[in-house]
Amino acid sequence: MKQNSRILIIDDVIDNIRIAISLLKEENYDFCFAQSGAEALRLLFEEQEPFDLILLDIMMPGLDGFDVCQKIKENPDLNDIPIIFLTARVDVDSIANGFARGGVDYITKPFHAEELIARVKTHLELFHTKALLQKHNIDLSVKLEHQKLRLLSELENDQKEMIYVLAELMEATSDETGKHIKRVAEISSLLAKYHPILKETDMNTLYHASPMHDIGKMTIPIEILHKNGSYSEEEFFIMKKHTSNAYQLLSGSERKLIKAAAIIAHEHHEKWDGSGYPRGLKGADIHIYGRIVALADVFDALTHKRAYKAAWSINDAVNYIIERRETQFDPELIDIFQAHLDEFIAIAQSK
């Protein structure tokens, strides 16, 4: 048991206080006393070091022991301190009232030395054991929370690594380069940065999940994927399946980045006016991640050479994007794009 436990004795009769101290002094306790309820509460509220136990008389002028006990229990900083009533009142109602107000024990005067010593010792041991258990529970909770955060971080890093590997594999089967994928990630993250509703977590999610926007192209026959020139109607029908194929591949995951990648891959060819594919979604029915990557993908694709086309000038690409406000692209995203155009152009021109 903790040594030098601090005990507060509250009694309006100084001789009662002296007797209690005399009987308990052999147990190495530190004592403090008060001769009124008001004085006791002042001590309790002002003391920097808390008390471990309170011995409380009931019959006192002004605030009686019941009222003092109740005020102590109403204070969240003090209500764990055990309170033992010391009183000459032995009627059932007084005893019941004492426990109802929050007392842990009830010793009648004149008290016997062995009884007082034993009960004080027992309640101090219970008090310190409870405090120790609470500390261990808090320490355990902190450790568990740290472990949870570490595991979540490892899981997220695993997702990022898997996305990187899949993106590398996708590059090997298409005419898109890793630089295109990186630029789309940066443009998407920048659009999220200036969006009035999205948060930093959305910026990070878009940056790491957007590289998967065309992962479904791995399911498209190579002769269609690498065809020079325009697609036939049948070929275009097959090509459009890369969106729904990717969604079927990724949507079963419960991991944050993979779920976001599934949405992006599924919806980045949808258009604001409902003329896109694969589901013809319109306006806000298109997930904001899909709307953002749609703009980022088109802007970067226009400004860079592909096997089937030459690179457009920055001005032509910018005009194309702006002209399709409220038809192909979310008008709010177009406003962000125009307001921070220099930053988007810098990304498009990066090597």
3-state per-residue secondary structure call for 264-305:
HHHHCCCCCCCCCCCCCCCHHHCCHHHHHHHHHHHHHHHCCC
Q: Tokens 């910018």 identify what position?
A: 318
CB-based contacts of 317: which residues, under 8 Å, 6+ apart?
299, 302, 303, 348
Instruction: Report pTM.
Output: 0.56
Assess contact for 199 and 289: CB atoms under 8 A.
Answer: no
Q: What is the pLDDT of residue 2?
A: 47
Closest alpha carbon to 351 in 149, 116, 186? 186
Assess contact for 148 and 129: CB atoms under 8 A.
Answer: no
Element (H, E) at 53: strand 53-57
Q: What is the largest CA-CA distance in the chain?
A: 107
Assess contact for 190 and 343: CB atoms under 8 A.
Answer: yes
Assess contact for 173 and 184: CB atoms under 8 A.
Answer: no
Assess contact for 83 and 56: CB atoms under 8 A.
Answer: yes
Q: What is the pLDDT of residue 153?
A: 60
Q: What is the pLDDT of residue 248?
A: 92
Token pair recorded at residue 18: 């002296």
Residue 228: what are its φ and ψ, rounded to 5°?
Answer: -85, 135
Task: Please state the domain extents for the chain.
Answer: 6-141, 173-348
Q: What is the pLDDT of residue 280?
A: 96
Assess contact for 322 and 329: CB atoms under 8 A.
Answer: no
pLDDT tens per residue, range 301-340:
999 887 667 899 999 999 999 999 999 999 999 999 999 9
Q: How far apart are CA 67 and CA 7, in angstroms?
A: 19
pLDDT tens per residue, range 6-63:
899 999 989 888 988 888 887 778 888 999 988 989 888 877 678 889 999 988 988 8
Q: How far apart are CA 69 and CA 64, in angstroms?
A: 9
Assess contact for 192 and 292: CB atoms under 8 A.
Answer: yes
The DSSP output letter for 212 is: G
The DSSP output letter for 181 is: H
Residue type, position 16, single letter: N
Structural class in CATH, domain 173-348: mainly alpha
Closest alpha carbon to 291 in 226, 218, 215, 197? 197
Q: Tokens 């269609």 identify what position?
A: 224
Spans in the chain with pLDDT lower than 50? 1-2
CB-based contacts of 175: which residues, under 8 Å, 6+ apart?
226, 306, 307, 308
Assess contact for 265 and 215: CB atoms under 8 A.
Answer: yes
Q: How far apart are CA 166 and CA 160, in angstroms?
A: 10
Residue type, position 175, single letter: D
The CATH code for residues 6-141 is 3.40.50.2300
Residue type, position 266, single letter: H
Q: What is the pLDDT of residue 91?
A: 81
Q: What is the pLDDT of residue 150?
A: 66
Q: What is the pLDDT of residue 173?
A: 54
Q: What is the pLDDT of residue 1?
A: 42
Assess contact for 272 and 298: CB atoms under 8 A.
Answer: no
Q: Same fold for the domain at 6-141 and the one at 173-348?
A: no
